[in-house]
Amino acid sequence: MDMETKKLSLSGSSGIVSKYSYIVVFLIIFAVYAATSSSLTWSGVMNIFRHSAIIGIIALGMGLICLTGEIDLSVGSMLAMVSGFSVVIYNITGSIFAAFLFAVAFGGFCGLINGILVGGAEMPAFIVTLATMLIFRSISQYVCQKLPKELIGGGSSIYKLFTQKSSFQAFYQIGNGKAATLPYVGLILALMTVLFVYLSTSTKYGKKVYAIGSNQKGAVMTGINVPVTKISVFVIAGMLVGLGAFLWIAMNASADPATTGTSYEMYAIAAVVLGGISMSGGKGRVLGILFGAMSYTLIDKIIVALKMDSLINDAIKGVILLAVIMIQLEGPKIKGRLKRRTNEV
């Protein structure tokens, strides 16, 4: 093999690894999990899929927002508020469908608030969503304290589904049932991933999202309505939080306004980053978010398997998140240096 062929081979291999880095990262983390876990079974793998569902669904919306160069810190508190209010709707109506419609619609409305302030009023997304993060959780806790107990399932500080409703078992099965060995919530995550991969890669809307994140001024010059597109991205993200809220109460039959969704904004961002999407916008593949969400779930399980102190759990995740972002920033520079050295040789 001559020198030119070697260069082409190295370049091709490097390109493939770079293109599918999120799969490489997932496989490495899964290998560590396999080495540390004493219960690596098909059921255990499906459990990872199940536990990744809500984070993964929320992260799909976060991914779209990040692709435009923005961020949403309110998704955790939004999850708490939407899931709590959806419990109330179910307790009033006894209808699974009504709870689902409300969750998705109300989540979309919360996203619309963020979108109008960020995309329409051009306020900084960090400040806007930091404020709505506080507002959403505060409202959720306040309403829970003020509503009659019969509407929140008889509890005093937690929203609980009425287990006496005739549709309760069917509702609970959505969150905890399986099709053969595949959890329903995992299948929903897979379906939503396929939908959003198509949206981001094969539609004009997806191209607009990438264009805005890559070069917003250039996007404006090509005729893209940046404010409307940004608003729509936040609305879609809110609707996905609504879907996540519906699945949350289906899985847990309750929602605690004080703790539900705590740190989920960080988990969603971590899934996005581990999935290879750039926080600066315009770069990355939506498919990577699925692998990012599962990678993050695996990290959690590795920490448990190694019997580390639970108090340091989030610190370890934070360090990993910083490391991945650093690799994202420095990786292209290192790749450029290696390419120059290869060319010199």
Provide DSSP, 233-263: HHHHHHHHHHHHHHHHHHHHSEE-TTTTTTT
What's the rounded Cα separation, in Å, for the pair 180 and 161? Answer: 27
Residues contacting residue 41 through CB under 8 Å, at least 6 positions apart: none
What average pLDDT does this structure show over 280-291? Answer: 93
Nearest CA among 28, 25, 18, 83 for reference residue 54: 83
Residue type (1 letter), 222: T
What's the rounded Cα separation, in Å, for the pair 296 and 287? Answer: 15
What's the rounded Cα separation, in Å, for the pair 333 and 319? Answer: 21
Domain-wise residue ranges, the chain = 21-340
Confidence (pLDDT) at 55: 97
Our CA angle for 315, 70, 317, nearest 5°, is 10
- Here the tokens at position 100 are 């689902």
CA dihedral 73, 74, 79, 80 (to 10 degrees): 120
What's the rounded Cα separation, in Å, for the pair 60 and 287? Answer: 9
Please name the residue that has the structure tokens 């536990």.
Answer: 51
What's the rounded Cα separation, in Å, for the pair 327 and 47? Answer: 29
Beta-strand ranges (E) seen in 185-230 are: none
- Here the tokens at position 183 are 């959890």
Distances (CA, A) of 85 to 76, 140, 159, 168, 250: 15, 8, 8, 17, 13
Average model confidence (pLDDT) for the chain?
Answer: 90
What's the rounded Cα separation, in Å, for the pair 143 and 18? Answer: 48
Contact 255, 249 (CB under 8 A): yes
Confidence (pLDDT) at 8: 46
> Does the structural domain 21-340 have CATH classification 1.10.3470?
yes
This prediction has a pTM of: 0.91
What's the rounded Cα separation, in Å, for the pair 236 and 242? Answer: 10
Q: Of 3-17, 148-162, 247-261, where does mean pLDDT reach its minimum?
A: 3-17
Beta-strand ranges (E) seen in the chain are: 159-160, 178-179, 182-183, 254-255
Q: How does pLDDT run across 198-245, given as a tens digit for each residue? A: 999 999 999 999 999 999 999 999 999 999 999 999 999 999 999 999
CA dihedral 262, 264, 267, 269 (to 10 degrees): -130
Q: Is the pLDDT of residue 11 over 60?
A: no
Confidence (pLDDT) at 321: 77
DSSP 160: E
Q: Of 28-32, 127-131, 314-318, where does mean pLDDT reach its minimum?
A: 314-318
